[in-house]
Structure 1
Amino acid sequence: MQRQFFRYNAKSFPKCYRELATSSSIFLIFTAAIAGCTNSSLATKQQPATTQLFSPQTHLASQPPRCQTAQLSVSKVSTNAGAGNVAVIYAFTNKGSSPCNLYGYPGFALLDSKDRPLKGVKVIRSQGTYFSKQQSPRQVTLAPNGQASFEIAYNQVRDVGQSCPTSEKIQITPPNAYHHFTLPEQINPCTGQVRVTSVQPGIIQ
């Protein structure tokens, strides 16, 4: 059995069909051209999105660094007493050439003659004392030669026959620092407690 193949002959179709086929081909070619131009135009105009990331270093760089013990000095400013209570004010001074920040409570310890912590004494952080108003911790920026102060307070009223622990030295550490100052100082908290306030700008009045 022989296979018969159909051969397409455009002339074998009526004229109206030939015109329709030609029109359809032109339409498809035109549509494809428009689509190509449109996609090419969009690809040309569309730009990749860019994202700007906020860098906190710009803000942090404007803040002075934390005060280091080496750029500070500490000294006793004044002593006040009344009704058996004693308060002593100490001040940090920025002896460096650039500003620095202090924030929070200083370290404070009472020592004996051998530089050992005094037994039976507890140091308590306090927002105020018998002599000063309540003040929360705040950041203090010390300019060169600028000062910030804190207060320690204790009670020295003793019962009959009572002996109160007495320090030979004190140890002061700036807030958030690792190194300390050691000063000769006799403090005798008969109640066994010493209150320490946070660092405040200037000299506490």
Structure 2
Amino acid sequence: MRRLVLCGALALLTACGSPDQAANRQTLPTGTPPPTSTVAPLPPTQASTASSTRCTAASLTGKVEPTEAGAGNRYGRFVVTNTGSSPCTLNGYSGLQLLDAAGRPVPTNLVRTQDPGPSPVTLAPDASAAANLRWTVVPSGDEPVDRPCEPDAVTAAAIPPDETQPMSLAWGVGPVCGGGKIEISAFYAA
């Protein structure tokens, strides 16, 4: 209880100021401009880029790049590039829906992984970010073993984090078994 009261008193002093701080304040006469700051500005960083907006499907192009394969598993990266004229920021996971040649949905079960997890990535024009992908080509459950386990996906509709409009990209990396389960990471700088 003592700590709580002490912390409350400290918070009050910090928020309101101490009596010594009030005595040291200067009051400027009416019409006198405030003093100018002599502190040098901070250099720009990813976190301080205030002019950056969220990346949208209209400002990105995307592609799926296969990276490796083994024991029935397939790995790839979903890479997006900022095609806009100003920086934009991605923070989180993409949505993804596989589509057949006629544009109809193919079973897709997107599962988010934490390797890497969400962290803001600011993309300058022509810069890229990627999200890791993993899926299986081994049929499971009631999927057939004598033909493709699921309908063949030709394209995918991908939605950038916190957006609602998808972009279209070629899938071209084969079937996704296991009911269309695809593990996806958050975006990271590529």
Give the TM-score category using the shorter length. 0.5 to 0.7
Which residue number corresponds to residue 170 of structure 1?
156
Return the structure number with greater helix share: 1
Distance in 2 of aligned mates of 1:191 and 1:106: 20
Is 1:189 equivalent to 2:139 in the alignment?
no
- Alignment partners' CA distance in 2, 1:70 and 1:161: 41
Aligned residue identity for 2:111? I
Deviations 1:41-64 (A, max 9, x none): xxxxxx9xxxxxxxxxxx998251
TM-score by length of 1: 0.60
* Structure-2 residue corresponding to 1:180: 166
Matching of residue 153 in structure 1 with residue 138 in structure 2: no
Q: Is the radius of gyration larger for structure 1 or structure 2? A: 1
Aligned to 1:144: 125
Q: Does 1:88 align with 2:69?
A: no
How many residue pairs are counted as aligned between the two chains? 138
TM-score, normalization by structure 2: 0.64
Identity, % of aligned positions: 31
Q: Letter of the aligned partner of 1:65 in structure 2? A: T
C-alpha distance in 2 between matches for 1:174 and 1:140: 12
CA RMSD of aligned residues (A): 2.4
For residue 162 of structure 1, report the CA deviation from its aligned partner: 6.2
Over 3 Å counting, the alpha-carbon distance change for 1:189 and 1:61 in structure 2 is: closer
Q: CA deviation at 1:174?
A: 1.2
Task: Give the Cα separation in 2 of the matches to 1:145 and 1:116.
Answer: 31
| Residues 1:100 and 2:100 are matched in the alignment | no
Unaligned runs of 5+ in 1: 1-46, 48-58, 128-133
Tell me, in whole angstroms, the C-alpha distance in 1 between the residues paired with 2:134 and 2:105: 18
Unmatched 5+ stretches in structure 2: 1-28, 30-46
